[in-house]
């Protein structure tokens, strides 16, 4: 069932790069006025140009998504300048690539505040306004890692797990209240975004997404669909479904499997640059667009996404992913790896 929105105003957090930047273009193509929330001035300016080049109206606002007061102020400004917010996309994230034994308490705090609490604060700001009209959509951007943590990303994985818990609680409350506000969550696989050259890393080699890699435009299409349809969850890519199913049925096996491949699978063969700038505490003062350095490996379509936009397709995707997962695990066990 499609959702009819009362206005064409969307707010996208983390809009200066990666998935947020691609989502801004997706909504602009469909005629939306796009409020762009992020810390980086240069990236926001690039996003503004993207939206306007597509004939859209853009409102860039510099915001630290770990700051609830700044988000509330931004939401007020959006409604004053663009009109009532009909869609809010919670997308901002941060991470530290590091073994737990080398992590600092303040790093966990920062990643959690941006990646988890940023979505909570965004939801509160959106819900406060949508509740008055009893209308609107809130889209939370999750991850396969909300169900299965992997080595070297404990802070990020913990934050994504927390988002799923908050989402479950909030959605149940909306149903209890018989609210017309829709909340959906889009779980993503490995994406070719700018994050791998932005986040803080203690790895000896340059980092990369692990597994099959998708272009951010695939995620953007999923986010747009979620904002306009009454779907609880959307899983992008076969790897996402396989990860969720694998952890449900074989968590102990995955512990050992990821212990073996999780370190090398997240690094290229190129040494990391000593002292490379990162965006944990402050934004990097440049515009890097939406794509990372893996265009040669990333795909720009997802058969799973196309299928999962229908209920029949969802069943088929789960069945196929389960078959592929079982076959892969059998092969791994027989190979003695």
Indicate which residues carry an active-site annotation: 156
CB 97 within 8 A of CB 151: no
Cβ-proximal residues to 254 (8 Å cutoff; 6+ apart), any chain: 148, 246, 247
CA dist 155 and 134 (Å) reads 35
* Selection from 14, 72, 66 nearest residue 38 by Cα: 14
Note the residue count of the chain. Answer: 337
The alpha carbon of 48 is separated from its chain's Cα centroid by a whole number of angstroms, namely 20
* Selection from 226, 138, 134 nearest residue 188 by Cα: 226
- Here the tokens at position 262 are 């999780």
CA dist 11 and 14 (Å) reads 10
- Here the tokens at position 238 are 């076969």
Q: Which long-range contacts (CB under 8 A, 24 or more apart) does 291-295 make?
A: 291/192, 291/193, 291/194, 291/215, 291/216, 292/18, 292/191, 292/192, 292/193, 292/194, 292/195, 292/196, 292/197, 292/209, 293/192, 293/196, 293/197, 294/192, 294/196, 294/208, 294/209, 294/213, 295/192, 295/215
* Selection from 25, 33, 16 nearest residue 50 by Cα: 25
- What DSSP state is assigned to residue 285? S
Cβ-proximal residues to 278 (8 Å cutoff; 6+ apart), any chain: 198, 199, 200, 201, 284
* Selection from 223, 65, 211 nearest residue 144 by Cα: 211
CA dist 61 and 75 (Å) reads 10
């Amino acid at each position: 069932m499609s959702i009819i929105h009362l206005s064409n105003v969307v707010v996208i957090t983390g809009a200066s790069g990666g998935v947020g930047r691609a989502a801004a273009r997706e909504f602009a193509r469909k005629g939306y006025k796009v409020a762009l929330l992020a810390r980086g001035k240069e990236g926001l300016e690039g996003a503004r140009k993207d939206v306007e080049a597509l004939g859209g109206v853009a409102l860039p606002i510099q915001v630290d998504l770990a700051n609830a007061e700044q988000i509330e102020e931004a939401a007020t400004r959006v409604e004053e300048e663009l009109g009532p917010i009909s869609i809010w996309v919670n997308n901002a994230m941060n991470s530290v690539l590091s073994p737990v034994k080398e992590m600092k308490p303040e790093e966990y705090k920062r990643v959690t505040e941006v990646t988890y609490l940023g979505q909570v604060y965004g939801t509160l700001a959106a819900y406060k306004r949508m509740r008055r009209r009893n209308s609107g959509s809130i889209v939370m951007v999750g991850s396969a890692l909300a169900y299965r943590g992997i080595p070297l990303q404990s802070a990020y994985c913990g934050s994504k797990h927390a988002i799923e818990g908050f989402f479950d609680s909030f959605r149940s409350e909306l149903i209890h209240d018989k609210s017309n506000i829709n909340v959906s969550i889009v779980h993503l696989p490995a994406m070719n975004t700018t994050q791998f050259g932005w986040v803080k890393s203690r790895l000896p080699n340059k980092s990369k997404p692990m597994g099959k890699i998708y272009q951010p435009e695939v995620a953007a299409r999923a986010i747009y669909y979620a904002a306009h349809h009454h779907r609880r969850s959307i899983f992008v890519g076969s790897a996402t479904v396989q990860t969720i199913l694998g952890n449900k049925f074989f968590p102990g096996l995955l512990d050992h499997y990821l212990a073996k491949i999780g370190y090398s699978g997240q690094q290229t063969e190129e040494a990391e640059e000593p002292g490379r700038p990162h965006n944990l505490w402050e934004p990097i003062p440049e515009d890097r667009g939406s794509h990372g350095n893996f265009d040669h490996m990333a795909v720009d379509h997802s058969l799973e996404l196309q299928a999962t936009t229908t209920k029949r397709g969802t069943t088929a995707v789960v069945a196929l992913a389960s078959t592929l997962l079982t076959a892969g695990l059998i092969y791994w066990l027989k190979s003695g790896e």
